[in-house]
Chains A and B, each alone.
Chain A
């Protein structure tokens, strides 16, 4: 079945540091890939998405590129802020139809001053 593997946290960074959270997947066909974020005390929000190979999703300074050859969708940000402290989830779903999301285990990011 489909699965998502993401790096374990917690990840602790100083403000303005570079962030990478690794995510790899196993799926049949050509899934859509997502990063969701859960800020403290809030619900899950979509951060960015990519629906086909080589697509780059971006939002709020975060980026991730859909790499079919390495089955990866790593999340990056050039300069993190304290407000980016949250739990980040990589996820996939089948494209083109209503379909469940399969999530990774989540990575907690803590950014300090």
Chain B
């Protein structure tokens, strides 16, 4: 597809269950990011992957959250033992990494997965 895709679009789960959220980045983009958008916290960075480098996990809120990126493309965000405070929209973004003076990395966002924990 032309853009970043995420699945499922909506997920309702019970407290204590594990969930997996999937992100398909734009083909050729080497950087992939996960963010969370919630009413109380706004837009928060969770984790990002850049090529073969170790991921930056500095935004993950607890050890119940993990993510992997297989083959440098698709990424899965896993939340174990979900809690009600995990309810949010989880956004994935990808970028084509540029470097050098004045370079920036425009991040293209997917539509998000709305997670509701009952």
Contact A49 B33 (CB under 8 A): no
Contact B59 A100 (CB under 8 A): yes
Binary per-residue interface labels of chain A (37-56) against chain B in the complex, 1 for a CB within 8 Å, 0 otherwise: 00000111110010110000
A97 to B103, CA, bound (A): 7
Of A96, A99, A100, A101, the residue contacting B101 (CB under 8 A) is A96
Binary per-residue interface labels of chain A (83-108) against chain B in the complex, 1 for a CB within 8 Å, 0 otherwise: 00000010101011111111111100
Within 8 A of A (CB), among B24-47: 30-31, 33, 35, 42-45
Contacts of A58 in B (CB 8 A): none
Of A45, A97, A99, A100, the residue contacting B109 (CB under 8 A) is A45
Within 8 A of A (CB), among B66-118: 91, 93, 95, 97, 99-112
Contact A96 B91 (CB under 8 A): no
Contacts of B109 in A (CB 8 A): 43-45
Contact A89 B43 (CB under 8 A): yes
Contact B45 A102 (CB under 8 A): yes
A32 to B35, CA, bound (A): 18
Contact A95 B106 (CB under 8 A): no
Q: A89-B43, A96-B101 are in contact. Are A49 and B50 (CB under 8 A)?
A: no
Contact B105 A93 (CB under 8 A): yes
Contact A93 B104 (CB under 8 A): yes
Query: B59's closest neighbor in chain A, by CB?
Result: A100
Contact A97 B91 (CB under 8 A): no
A102 to B44, CA, bound (A): 7
- A residues bordering B, Cβ < 8 Å? 32, 42-46, 49, 51-52, 89, 91, 93, 95-106
Given contacts A43-B109, A101-B107, 4 further A-B contacts (CB under 8 A): A42-B111, A51-B104, A93-B104, A96-B100
> What are 5 A-B pairs with beta-carbon distances under 8 A?
A43-B109, A45-B109, A51-B104, A96-B100, A98-B31
